[in-house]
Amino acid sequence: MSKKKILAAVDGSAYSSQSLAYLSRLYGDDQDCDVELLHVVSASSSQTWMLEVDPYRSRPPEVERRLLAAQRYQNEAKDRLLRHGFSEQRVCCQALATSAGVATTIQHHAASGLYDALLIGRRGVGRIGEMLFGSVSAWLLEKCFDIPLWIVDGDVQTNRFLLAVHGSTRSLFAADHLGYMLQNRGETEILLYHSSALLQTRQDLDLTILHARWGEEWCREHLDSADNLFHAHEQILRDAGIAAERIRRLPAQHNLDASHDLLRQAKKHDCGTLVIGRRGPESTRRFLSSVSQRALQQFENLAAWIV
């Protein structure tokens, strides 16, 4: 089994600490999961352009001060992870100064490494609260499609997951990501839910992509099932080693707002994490992306995995 690797963007805030608490609760005792703590500090172009030309030049004092503060927080964050089950070898740290923008730098760093997920805390509730990390998480949700994005708000107390099921390729990818990341997590439970507001009970699948991922035989066997909306998602989870008794279907409910419906189901069934597959940037049908955005404007004390 290959090791899972999570990039955790941190900023020294209480919201960042909550994302680390979430990470510790899920993976503190999982020896197959490593974490990189990334702290990005902003610097004006006039402060950094000479460093790009001459990397041996001393950093400007203000940039140096910000990086030292970032490194101090990273050491505190690492100590916190070590106190909750992580070993020294499983946690590394990196602090970067950038003039390109914090969110852009986080995205580029995530794309340059072999990370399975990008974890970030969310600040505030709704658009008014989108400041600092709030604006970063909003930007990443809009622009970052090449790595699953985990956004944590508040104090997440339960390891139960709600997987939003719909008839799309990205929904199956979300199930695949969830199954892989929960390998060896025997205490977790996965609830499958289809919101009637998603209006996608019929399949809208790219078979070329799915054949490349799972093979034509697997697709014929599991995607052509009469119970195709749920069956393929369940099979992906079982193939990842998730026991059948840990997977449960919820009855569909009627609601005009899919984001509100998903959040209501997560709260009703005491789920700590909502998992949503969304369409990529090339799609002209952005409904599922808008569901993700609206859900993240409304959720609290919950984590969302956007795949």
Distance CA 130, CA 128 (A): 6
Residue 190: its H or E element: strand 189-193
Distance CA 172, CA 177 (A): 9
| Average pLDDT of the residues in 74-88 | 95
Q: In what order do the strands lie in the sheet with 149-153?
A: 91-98, 33-42, 4-9, 117-121, 149-153, 302-306, 273-276, 160-164, 189-193, 247-249
Q: What share of the chain is helix, strand, coil (3-state, %, to 5)?
A: 45, 20, 35
| Average pLDDT of the residues in 142-161 | 90
Percent of the chain with pLDDT over 90: 50
Tell me the per-residue pLDDT of 166-175, one tens digit each, with 9 for 90 and over: 888 989 999 9
Tell me the per-residue pLDDT of 227-256, one tens digit each, with 9 for 90 and over: 778 999 999 999 999 999 999 999 977 777
Tokens 């580029």 appear where? 108
What is the pLDDT, as a whole number, of residue 110?
A: 93
Worst-scoring range by mean pLDDT, 73-82, 261-270, 292-301? 292-301
| Average pLDDT of the residues in 191-217 | 81
Is pLDDT above 70 for 72? yes
Is pLDDT above 70 for 307? yes
Is pLDDT above 50 for 151? yes
Domains, the chain, ordered by start:
4-153 (3.40.50.620), 160-306 (3.40.50.620)
What is the pLDDT, as a whole number, of residue 46?
A: 53
What pTM was estimated for this model as a whole? Answer: 0.86
What is the pLDDT, as a whole number, of residue 80?
A: 94
3-state secondary structure of 287: helix
At 1, is the pLDDT very low, low, confident or very high (cuts 50, 70, 90)? low
User: When comparing pLDDT for 128 and 109, which is higher?
Assistant: 109
CB 304 within 8 A of CB 274: yes
At 145, is the pLDDT very low, low, confident or very high (cuts 50, 70, 90)? confident
